[in-house]
Amino acid sequence: MSAFAVIEAGGELSTALYILSFSLFIFGVRQGTHPTTAKRGNMLAAVGMLIAVITTLLLDGIGNWGVIVAGLAVGTAVGVIASIRVQMTDMPQMVALYNGVGGGAVALIAWSEFRQEIEIGHEIPLDTFIPILFAAVIGSVSFWGSNIAFAKLQDLISTRPVSLPGQQLINAALLIGVVGACVILAADNGSPSEGIFIAVLIAAAVLGNLAVLPIGGADMPVVISLLNAATGLSAAAAGFALDNVALIVAGTLVGSSGTILTMEMATAMNRSVANILFAGFGGAPSGGGGDFEERPHRSLGAQDAAITLGYADSVVIVPGYGLAVAQAQHAVKELGDELEKRGIDVRYAIHPVAGRMPGHMNVLLAEADVPYEKLVEMEDINPDMPRTDVAVVVGANDVTNPSAKNDPNSPIAGMPIIEVGEAQQVIVIKRSLSPGFAGIDNDLFYMEKTGMVFADAKKAAQDIAAEVTRL
Amino acid sequence: MDLITELTIFVLAAFVGFEVISKVPATLHTPLMSQTNAIHGIVMLGGLIVAGFGDDPLEYTIGFIAIAFGAINIVGGFMVTDRMLGMFARKKKPAEASAEAEPEQS
């Protein structure tokens, strides 16, 4: 018996409950526009999910309780433990992992639904079959792509772009093969071959791996966001196959969200999504370190930095991925507190693609108890930069590089930046002069007003804070 | 439900999604992503349905894994979002917040 008929048998009550559940999702996300209501919104969305799950469990004819209870118990235990243990700096890979298991679930559900449709022995209606195939392919791509993204973010595999010779051709061939096999399956909807279906799942898995491997670590936020959208759409496809309105609406909502975030990030990097996916850029300097001649720069000790900061009126702190790597959010907040005690106006300027996930820096600074009002977005802080006494760059690089504005030949030309160079003085906390992921030198480091503090972000922030207290 | 009804729901949901999500400020994009990530865990319903009607060991296995994956996605996603948003929410009243001193995980 197909799942399709049973959902229908659930009738108006189950549909009404599903409508209630997706309304809570939409309302919950709507509450996410402000930090004071977002927590409640998340809770409401979770209640919506609970309603949807209970409704489904109550559907007429659902059986195999052993399997269901075991699956729920194992998944819940893993989810609870993982979410309690994860550190805020590791949030991008956590989201990648959750996204991956979601995609994997979609692919498996599509496979199982395919088997159940065959067992009925009828011609599978195309409005069920095509969504099943879509869900299988996208779910499988998303599962494997997310796992690769997770492995890259967790440093389990190289974050550099890894690519085979003729990679684009291989990917294109795989994609054509997958689509071709799907057409063959759909054309033979009276008795489609399960062997071909499994081959499609496997080919999509290989495609997921190959598509994400060549993308560098710094472009992972875009990849995760795109895979999030993909998993959402595959969930919506599963909803078409199972005639489940909650799946359709929730999946589409996630698809929209992922699409918006992907486009916003691409805009913030001044690159097209296609360029990010196919250019094999964003991993490491392409030409190696030899291309950059040694240029004069000013090196600062913690004490000099403390004096510069301690006698300023206004300070803007610009955090980047280096802050996350060094777990420096608490130390930076302490430094900010010390400066505020001296009556200095301290704010934090957040570039849209700082960190490895959109909004990642905000979460880290919130973890360190930096008030929400002190986190300022790029377009709001830039007009204030010329009036800022000192800008402190902590572990950020390309998002502050003035060549994005001044040099039309720069690889990052046109990328919106935080205009740190406009501030009266600049302090850059960085381990070395090495270039950022774009592999280009940063003129900011060699400006007369710039002082470089070469140290680990956390240690440097602690040392400078200690020196400020002694002023 | 016929295909046209489903497509209508799909298109309207896409527009609602764009409207609602474009209002979320960039500051909250990480929790937004993790919350919508949890919401697509709703595929677990599909897992419950196919497992609930499976009738051979392979289908039990597929169903079990799909449900477990979906549950990780849902439970982990909502809980981690709640943790993150808790950090933002506490900021509103710094004095009280330090008094409550929610246990830190890291």
d(CA A282, CA A265): 14
Pairwise CB contact (< 8 Å): B35 & A56: no
Q: Are residues A452 and A337 in the same domain?
A: yes
- Among the partner residues B17, B76, B86, nearest to A252 by beta-carbon distance: B17
Q: Are residues A314 and A274 in the same domain?
A: no
Question: Chain A contacts of B21, Cβ < 8 Å?
Answer: 29, 253, 256-257, 260-261
In this model, does residue A322 exceed pLDDT 90? Answer: no
Question: Chain B contacts of A57, Cβ < 8 Å?
Answer: 48
Q: Quickly state the pLDDT bin for A440 (edges 50, 70, 90).
A: confident
Q: Are residues A264 and A301 in the same domain?
A: no
Q: Which residues of A are catalytic?
A: 398
Instruction: Spell A411-420 as b/e; 16+ CB within 10 A means b.
Output: ebeebbbbbb
Q: Are residues A208 and A260 in the same domain?
A: yes
d(CA A202, CA A144): 10
In this model, does residue A427 exceed pLDDT 90? Answer: yes
Q: Which residue in chain A has the smallest CA separation from B101?
A: A369
What CATH number should be reported for the domain holding residue A384?
3.40.50.1220
Question: Mean pLDDT in chain A?
Answer: 88
Q: Are residues A445 and A312 in the same domain?
A: yes
Pairwise CB contact (< 8 Å): A36 & B92: yes
Q: Are residues A93 and A196 in the same domain?
A: yes
Asked if residue A223 belongs to a domain, the reply is yes
pLDDT, mean of residues A413-424 = 89
pTM of the model: 0.85
| Cα A112 off chain centre by | 30
Range of the domain at A413: 289-470
Q: Are residues A271 and A307 in the same domain?
A: no
- Read off the amino acid at residue A92: P
User: Nearest-CA distance from A274 to chain B in Å?
Assistant: 21
Asked if residue A284 belongs to a domain, the reply is no
Q: Which of A284-293, A295-304, B23-32 has the weakest average pLDDT?
A: A284-293
Q: Are residues A307 and A206 in the same domain?
A: no
Pairwise CB contact (< 8 Å): B51 & A375: no
Q: Are residues A40 and A169 in the same domain?
A: yes
DSSP for residue B103: P
Q: Which residue in chain B has the smallest CA separation from A371?
A: B91
Asked if residue A326 belongs to a domain, the reply is yes
Pairwise CB contact (< 8 Å): B76 & A80: yes
Is A346 part of the contact surface with chain B (CB cutoff 8 Å)? no
Is A37 part of the contact surface with chain B (CB cutoff 8 Å)? no
Q: What domain count does chain A have?
A: 2
Q: Are residues A186 and A52 in the same domain?
A: yes
Asked if residue A360 belongs to a domain, the reply is yes
Structure tokens at A78: 């893993």
Phi-psi region of A374 (alpha: psi -120 to 50; beta: other; left: phi over 0): alpha
User: Nearest-CA distance from B86 to chain A in Å?
Assistant: 7
Percent of chain A at pLDDT > 70 equals 93
Q: What was the pLDDT predicted at A10?
A: 53
Q: Which residues contact A363 (CB under 8 A, 6 or more apart)?
A: A88, A91, B30, B31, B84, B87, B88
Instruction: Spell B14-48 as b/e; 16+ CB within 10 A means b.
Output: bebbbebbeebbbbbbbbbbbbbbbbbbbbbbbbb
Q: Please give the residue that has the higher pLDDT: either A382 or A122.
A: A382
Structure tokens at A356: 């490895």
Pairwise CB contact (< 8 Å): A232 & B47: no
Q: Quickly state the pLDDT bin for A280 (edges 50, 70, 90).
A: low
Q: Quickly state the pLDDT bin for A183 (edges 50, 70, 90).
A: very high
In this model, does residue A3 exceed pLDDT 60? Answer: no
Averaged pLDDT, groups of 10, chain B, 106 residues long: 91 94 87 93 93 88 95 96 86 44 43
Pairwise CB contact (< 8 Å): A26 & B74: no
- Among the partner residues B36, B53, B72, nearest to A1 by beta-carbon distance: B53
Single out the residue of A151, A437, A402, A158 nearest to residue A321, CA to CA: A437
Q: Quickly state the pLDDT bin for A73 (edges 50, 70, 90).
A: very high
In this model, does residue A217 exceed pLDDT 80? Answer: no
Is A23 part of the contact surface with chain B (CB cutoff 8 Å)? no
Single out the residue of B105, B4, B28 nearest to residue A83, CA to CA: B105
Question: Which residues between 213 and 272 in chain A have a beta carbon less than 8 angstroms from any beta carbon of chain B?
Answer: 224-225, 228, 231-232, 234-236, 238-240, 242-261, 264
Q: What was the pLDDT predicted at B94?
A: 45
Pairwise CB contact (< 8 Å): A109 & B50: yes
Report whether A395 contacts A457 (CB < 8 A): yes
Q: Are residues A321 and A263 in the same domain?
A: no
Q: What was the pLDDT predicted at A169?
A: 87
Q: Please give the residue that has the higher pLDDT: either A120 or A102.
A: A102
d(CA A249, CA A21): 10
d(CA A283, CA A214): 9
User: Nearest-CA distance from A299 to chain B in Å?
Assistant: 33
Q: B94 vs A201, A283, A309, A370, B82, CA distance in Å?
A: 51, 40, 25, 10, 19
Is B46 part of the contact surface with chain A (CB cutoff 8 Å)? yes
Asked if residue A251 belongs to a domain, the reply is yes
Q: Are residues A383 and A465 in the same domain?
A: yes
Q: What was the pLDDT predicted at A142?
A: 96
Question: Chain A contacts of B76, Cβ < 8 Å?
Answer: 78-80, 82-83, 94, 98
Q: What was the pLDDT predicted at A101?
A: 96
How many helices (H) and strands (E) chain A has is answered by 17, 6
Beta bridge partner(s), residue A452: A299, A428
In this model, does residue A260 exceed pLDDT 70? Answer: yes
Single out the residue of A107, A115, A112, A72 nearest to residue A237, CA to CA: A107
Asked if residue A389 belongs to a domain, the reply is yes
In this model, does residue A289 exceed pLDDT 60? Answer: no
Q: Please give the residue that has the higher pLDDT: either A403 or A335.
A: A335
Beta bridge partner(s), residue A426: A391, A450
pLDDT, mean of residues A340-353 = 92
- Read off the amino acid at residue B19: E
Asked if residue A114 belongs to a domain, the reply is yes
Is B68 part of the contact surface with chain A (CB cutoff 8 Å)? yes
User: Nearest-CA distance from B18 to chain A in Å?
Assistant: 6
Phi-psi region of A343 (alpha: psi -120 to 50; beta: other; left: phi over 0): left
Q: What was the pLDDT predicted at A294?
A: 67
pLDDT tens readout for residues A6-35: 444 457 888 999 999 999 999 999 998 888
pLDDT, mean of residues A436-444 = 74
Asked if residue A283 belongs to a domain, the reply is no
A258, A278, A298: which is the final residue of a domain? A278
Q: Which residues contact A450 (CB under 8 A, 6 or more apart)?
A: A297, A298, A425, A426, A427, A428, A444
Question: Chain B contacts of A45, Cβ < 8 Å?
Answer: 35, 38-39, 78
CB-side neighbour CA atoms (13 Å) of A115: 19
A252, A278, A304: which is the final residue of a domain? A278
Q: What was the pLDDT predicted at B96?
A: 43
Q: Quickly state the pLDDT bin for A290 (edges 50, 70, 90).
A: very low
Is A286 part of the contact surface with chain B (CB cutoff 8 Å)? no
Question: Chain A contacts of B66, Cβ < 8 Å?
Answer: 71, 104-105, 108-109, 112
Task: For the beta carbon of residue A183, count every other beta carbon within 10 angstroms.
Answer: 11
Is A363 part of the contact surface with chain B (CB cutoff 8 Å)? yes
